[in-house]
Amino acid sequence: MLIEENRYLKIIETSKIKGQEDVYLKSMRYINLGYPILLFGPPGCGKTSIARHILDSLDREYFTIEANESMTEYQLIGGFHPLSMSASKEVADEFMYKDGIVARAIMHGKNLLIDELTRAPSSAFSSIFLLLSHGILTLEHREMVLRKPDDWVFIATANFGDVGSFKLSSALKRRFIPIYVSYPKRYVEEALIREYAPGVGEKVASRILDFAEETRRMWKEEGALPQGLSTDGIIKMARYCELLAREGIDDRTAFSDAAFHQGVVIADETDQVSIQLVNELALRLTAGL
Ligand SMILES: Nc1ncnc2c1ncn2[C@@H]1O[C@H](COP(=O)(O)OP(=O)(O)OP(=O)(O)O)[C@@H](O)[C@H]1O
Ligand SMILES: [Mg+2]
For 212-241, the pLDDT digits (tens) are 999 999 999 999 999 999 999 999 999 999
Q: Are 185 and 224 in contact (CB under 8 A)?
A: no
Q: Measured from the CB, is residue 19 less than 6 Å from ligand 1?
A: yes
Residue 280: pLDDT above 70? yes
How confident is the prediction for the chain on average, in pLDDT? 94
Q: What is the mean pLDDT of residues 176-189?
A: 97
Are 76 and 127 contacting, i.e. CB atoms less than 8 angstroms apart?
Answer: yes
Query: How much is the average pLDDT of 137-154?
Result: 93
**pLDDT value of residue 145:** 95
pLDDT of residue 83: 67
List the CATH number of the domain containing 163: 3.40.50.300
Q: Work out which ligand 1 atom sits closest to the CA atom of 49.
A: 18
Clarify whether residues 98 and 61 are in a common domain.
yes
Contacts for 26-35: CB closer than 8 Å, 24+ residues apart:
26/179, 27/54, 27/155, 27/179, 28/3, 28/54, 30/177, 30/179, 31/2, 31/3, 31/153, 31/155, 32/1, 32/2, 32/3, 34/150, 34/151, 35/176, 35/177
How many angstroms separate the alpha carbon of residue 228 from the centre of ligand 1? 14
Query: Do 160 and 19 belong together in one domain?
Result: yes
- Give residue 140 CA to ligand 1 midpoint distance, Å: 38
* Residue-level pLDDT at 162: 77
| Higher per-residue pLDDT: 88 or 6 | 6
Same domain, 26 and 151: yes
The last residue of a domain, from among 156, 180, 204: 180
End-to-end CA distance of the chain: 53
CATH number at 247 reads 1.10.8
Residues 113-134 pLDDT 10s: 999 999 999 889 989 999 999 9
The domain containing residue 48 runs over which residues? 5-180
pTM listed for this prediction: 0.94
